[in-house]
Structure 1
């Protein structure tokens, strides 16, 4: 049974009217999964990570200034959120969720955090709705506390994982892969171990071929012992910030491909839901839900029929 990591604080953040970030999607996704057949016992609540522990791996000054609300206006504008005590609590709880998912994946084979993918956060600054890089810190936790020697961060968000690439650049035990939009945010890309920049209008067949080939390359070259998967839903055709033409079926096939290939290789996978920016929350939740259908958390609805797609992965 796949552990699902969730805390109500994921959606408890007051934002200005018409703010670009769909903060309510996390609670709506939890509710949809429960309605669709996920068991309440699958949900686990993470503990917030202590800022002092994060300060050991990131800029202590940056973390202290964020916690105290002392980042300047320009720094907060780059992040994209107004500062609040709730933002601080939410940030460290979300990071704790991704770290918990990583640890649980070693026991259960896979685990999913119902937030995460804050890959635009760097050593000493945040950007693009990302304050602290949960992907990088989860990889470090697996290495430092669980004896994992090599972690693959496989990022399929439509935006390049520039912060993750920068943080892990000097490390040989963390391998970063990003498949993203060529002409999309961030416009100044950083260098991952493997970058696959895809053009606007990319469709299912080309996208899935790129995901499969890139994952195979990463597994062959790096030989990871654990995988952290950023399953961004912003690749979807209806995403306001995506610029790809990927169908809902294409998102499902991508997520199923990643789980299946990693399972065949005997690799634990911890996943995060990543970006997704449709203003229609119900439609956005359906795209994010493909990750959970692919993991066999609950059956997938297609048309007027329910298809039990939680069969053994190929």
Structure 2
């Protein structure tokens, strides 16, 4: 059964001005239930992770300052969110959701987190609406528990996974692949194991051609035993921040190709949703919902 992490705190700790497009975290489960893609049984509430798993990735001084609301104003401004106890709980629950989803993926082949994809969080700081790097924390957790050895992180959000690249820089046990807008945030890129920077206005055919030429070879070379997929939909032409020009159809084909490639290799995968900032929330929800529809179609 497809298992999906969801918690009401994914939306409601945020002040009203920050809730769009975070409302997608509430609307997406509603859509999946309404159309019959999922039932209530598919969803689980994440638990708070043990601090030791977070500190295996994040500098303890940074983490405990964040936990105890002691970040400086400069550090808070860099994250983009006002700091509060509710926000701290939200970030920890997102990380917990991805840890638990990764365990479900080992059992069922795939599992999802409605939130997550917080790839701008560095080992020692947060930025870009990311405070704790959920997939990095879960990757290290799997390794610590001896549930996986070689991990591949596929990051197809329109923004480079700079925090993830920094965290695993020089670590051969976690391979980072980021395909993103070259002239988009972050403007100072970190070095992933493989970075593909795309020009503004890159369209369906070129995007899919590059992905289909790159990913199978990476899988063969890396030989991972677990994969994390960050399936951001800010690649859409309707996205206000993305600068690429993919149709919803091409975004769905992207997800189909990634998930089918992993299923064909019997590789377990955890999916976190990442970004999506289209002006109309229906475009965001539809593009994300496609990832879940494909997970059900391909794995079940």
**If the length of structure 2 is used for normalisation, what is the TM-score?**
0.96
Tell me what 1:121 maps to: 121
Map 1:72-83 onto structure 2 (within 5 A): 72-83=72-83
Query: Alignment partner of 1:12: what SS?
Result: coil
Cα displacement string for residues 99-141 of structure 1 (whole angstroms, at most 9, x for unaligned residues) = 1111111100001110110000001100100001111111111
Q: Distance in 1 between matches of 2:31 and 2:299?
A: 23
Q: Distance in 1 between matches of 2:19 and 2:246?
A: 21
Please say if residues 13 and 23 of structure 1, whose CA atoms lie closer than 8 Å, have aligned partners that are also in contact.
no
Map 1:202-281 onto structure 2 (within 5 A): 202-281=202-281
Map 1:1-314 onto structure 2 (within 5 A): 1-17=1-17, 19=18, 22-37=21-36, 38-296=38-296, 310=297
Structure 1 pair 256–175 and aligned structure 2 pair: CA distance change class (3 A): same
Cα distance, 1:52 vs. partner? 4.5
Cα distance, 1:312 vs. partner? 7.1
Structure 1 pair 63–181 and aligned structure 2 pair: CA distance change class (3 A): same
Q: Distance in 1 between matches of 2:190 and 2:12?
A: 32
Cα displacement string for residues 223-243 of structure 1 (whole angstroms, at most 9, x for unaligned residues) = 101110000010011011101
Q: Distance in 1 between matches of 2:216 and 2:28?
A: 30
Cα distance, 1:311 vs. partner? 6.3
Query: Alignment partner of 2:90: what SS?
Result: helix
Q: Distance in 2 between matches of 1:64 and 1:127?
A: 16
Q: Distance in 2 between matches of 1:3 and 1:235?
A: 25
Q: How many equivalent residue pairs?
A: 299
Cα displacement string for residues 27-62 of structure 1 (whole angstroms, at most 9, x for unaligned residues) = 111111111111110111110123354124311111
Q: Distance in 2 between matches of 1:246 and 1:236?
A: 5
Q: Distance in 1 between matches of 2:151 and 2:53?
A: 20
Structure 1 pair 184–20 and aligned structure 2 pair: CA distance change class (3 A): farther
Q: Distance in 2 between matches of 1:242 and 1:45?
A: 30
Query: Alignment partner of 1:22: what SS?
Result: helix
Q: Distance in 1 between matches of 2:228 and 2:234?
A: 18
Which structure has the highest helix share of the two?
2
Q: Distance in 1 between matches of 2:273 and 2:9?
A: 16
Please say if residues 20 and 277 of structure 1, whose CA atoms lie closer than 8 Å, have aligned partners that are also in contact.
no
Cα distance, 1:20 vs. partner? 7.7
Please say if residues 156 and 230 of structure 2, whose CA atoms lie closer than 8 Å, have aligned partners that are also in contact.
yes
Q: Distance in 1 between matches of 2:224 and 2:142?
A: 12
Cα distance, 1:150 vs. partner? 0.3
**If the length of structure 1 is used for normalisation, what is the TM-score?**
0.92
Q: What runs of 5+ residues in structure 2 fail to find an aligned partner?
A: none
C-alpha RMSD of the superposition: 1.5
Please say if residues 12 and 23 of structure 1, whose CA atoms lie closer than 8 Å, have aligned partners that are also in contact.
no
Cα distance, 1:13 vs. partner? 1.9
